[in-house]
Structure 1
């Protein structure tokens, strides 16, 4: 079977990209799999791609690349339309609402066409008009499935299939390092400033513990300034970007997530796969879809006094090694649902059903 995965860019450092790369690698063991990136802005993808997966792109956005049409949205739409019209695939999986609308309009009708949605539904106009042409919509959690199901009103079936982890075996934490880790894109929605402020209390009371921050993004400068203002330069370390976040989390004993809406939640899932408990804010539609409070991690209520509450949760887990290990075992159990083979099998069953 020929499977095409259409993404805005496979070259970026995003959780949804990581999930697609993991899924493609697993499916490539049994199918002809191609990742089509709408844009290519660097020589190689940030995350390693299984060699059996074919990589291609619609527009080369690297410096010096030549194009027939001037740069802009029209050039992208024309190039994407041409690519979709000539696509030779049995299955097309699109990974953003804007792309899914174009797949519904222009991809070959004899192909199974599926929209993979991670976030909350956008402006409904084009969605309600064109999504009924698709064969299915897939979301990573039940919460998001319900939102899409309400929007589409039965026009197309909405299924839940979790994100896929990298192929195992996964590295496992020994839980003996005095390290709290966090990772992902440094953007306002991830709210790393809440973590840094909470860790100031931890550093004051447990100065032998360290916070490692992995990633990068537009909040880099403000986060570094905050660390300096709080005099945490000997306690908080900026580790840079990594394509092996699971491996880095395995060096920690706690993983912190302070996002205001942890979607798709690959950071949380990779932490659990490393056998590390997660402390997260219980934001609406957030980590609570992945973390079970008291079994695989700790959920802290948002709102008044949230920084103090988060710091208290960190300190409680730091001071209770037995509880950390119990939560770590629960995290490993929860991560099993995200193993690439089981996730790929669920995709194959959905495709088989949609093909009938």
Structure 2
């Protein structure tokens, strides 16, 4: 394992530390292989799991940066599973609550907070935030709660009619006020959240996600996996994200089919997995592009593809601060994105660093893709913009926030 700096000293990276909290009816088991110095402020980060996604990816990057500044971190997971588990720094103590979902981890999380009393508890995503708020209340509010909104809630819930869309919004309006600090990943998300729950915008702080670090840049230079080596010598358009309705990959396929009519050698690569796979595979057959589309599933290193792609396309109905768009810029890749709420408008600086097109407008998307493919690429300029979303810039903002909370002596 690599060495890591903590409190200015070089320490050999330890074995993974993991604590298992069973159901409240049972005594929890504790198996520690390293004890972090008790003088450090402790940040607990609560997530359902580390399955592949933008939130999980940015949490890994945030952990790396905060560890370098002496913050002790507990990663509290409903289930310690997922593709990003292997990327969690070894100095992070993993606490597994023994549940499959955030909502069913409520009592275990409350028990953890009562017993461990971390200085701060951080959570992200609205349904996870609600569990964190309720757990902190049940535990007697022993910690300062920092919740982060990652998507535009108005846009997100407008497209859903399931039970979450019925239950979560009213709970957000009541419970979010109980959080000590409310964060948003973009100004667009902050504005949407304030209006959605009727909250004073001044209560919401904006901190861009930590996205770009030296690990990303190094991985961008790695070779492609053997199964996709043919893309080394073939022009391709890239899309990355979970195969869910929000990402709207169907429109990307339709736009690609139009663009490919004049560029028969062009291919489409979509990296990600999800419930929309059967529908997307059927659509590719219907459009007659199935032989030109690669959908290998989740890939741990998408950056090597971003470095080589002719263009990265984001076709989403809504976002918060789409990590993949920033990563593509950092890899020097030209981009086209829907001007969805929220994030692309900020990331691309009103279109200065990539084309913005209306949501669900296949014609505009295909036209913009063709236009960008024909234009010269200024990779250095795109990479420079990506660095505005560096790990250090974001970590500095988080450290400033933690110091502000400590200075106020605030809890809960």
TM-score by length of 1: 0.85
Runs of 4+ in 1 over 6 A off after TM superposition: none
Match of 2:75 among 22, 35, 48: 35
Offset of 1:190 from its aligned partner?
0.7
Correspondence 1:1-356 to 2 at 5 A: 1-10=41-50, 12-29=51-68, 30-40=70-80, 42=81, 45=84, 48-61=87-100, 76-96=105-125, 97-106=129-138, 109=141, 111-121=143-153, 123=168, 125-150=170-195, 151=197, 153-154=199-200, 157-165=203-211, 167-168=213-214, 170-171=217-218, 178-302=235-359, 306-320=361-375, 322=376, 325-326=377-378, 328-355=379-406, 356=408
The answer to whether the 8 Å contact 1:181/1:213 transfers is yes
Q: Which runs of 5+ in 2 are unaligned?
A: 1-40, 158-167, 222-231
Offset of 1:20 from its aligned partner?
1.1
1:173-224 per-position Cα deviation (integer Å, ceiling 9, x unaligned)? 8x99622111110001111010111111121101122111111111111111
User: In structure 2, what is the Cα distance between the partners aligned to 1:262 and 1:177?
Assistant: 30
User: In structure 1, what is the Cα distance between the partners aligned to 2:189 and 2:102?
Assistant: 32
Partner of 1:68: none
Distance 1:198 1:127, change over 3 A: closer
Aligned residues: 338
Offset of 1:139 from its aligned partner?
0.7
User: In structure 1, what is the Cα distance between the partners aligned to 2:259 and 2:170?
Assistant: 48
Offset of 1:60 from its aligned partner?
4.7
Task: Give SS of 2:52's match.
Answer: coil
1:241-270 per-position Cα deviation (integer Å, ceiling 9, x unaligned)? 112222321121210110101234111121
Distance 1:188 1:148, change over 3 A: closer
Deviates more, 1:213-222 or 1:97-106: 97-106
Task: Give SS of 2:261's match.
Answer: helix
Output the aligned Cα RMSD: 2.8
The answer to whether the 8 Å contact 2:211/2:391 transfers is yes
User: In structure 2, what is the Cα distance between the partners aligned to 1:159 and 1:341?
Assistant: 18
Offset of 1:47 from its aligned partner?
6.0
User: In structure 1, what is the Cα distance between the partners aligned to 2:268 and 2:77?
Assistant: 35
User: In structure 2, what is the Cα distance between the partners aligned to 1:177 and 1:331?
Assistant: 22
Offset of 1:103 from its aligned partner?
4.7
Offset of 1:152 from its aligned partner?
5.2
Offset of 1:109 from its aligned partner?
4.1
User: In structure 2, what is the Cα distance between the partners aligned to 1:72 and 1:3?
Assistant: 18
Q: Which runs of 5+ in 1 are unaligned?
A: 62-70
Offset of 1:46 from its aligned partner?
5.3
Distance 1:211 1:44, change over 3 A: closer
User: In structure 2, what is the Cα distance between the partners aligned to 1:181 and 1:352?
Assistant: 40
Offset of 1:8 from its aligned partner?
1.9
Distance 1:130 1:302, change over 3 A: closer
Distance 1:13 1:46, change over 3 A: farther
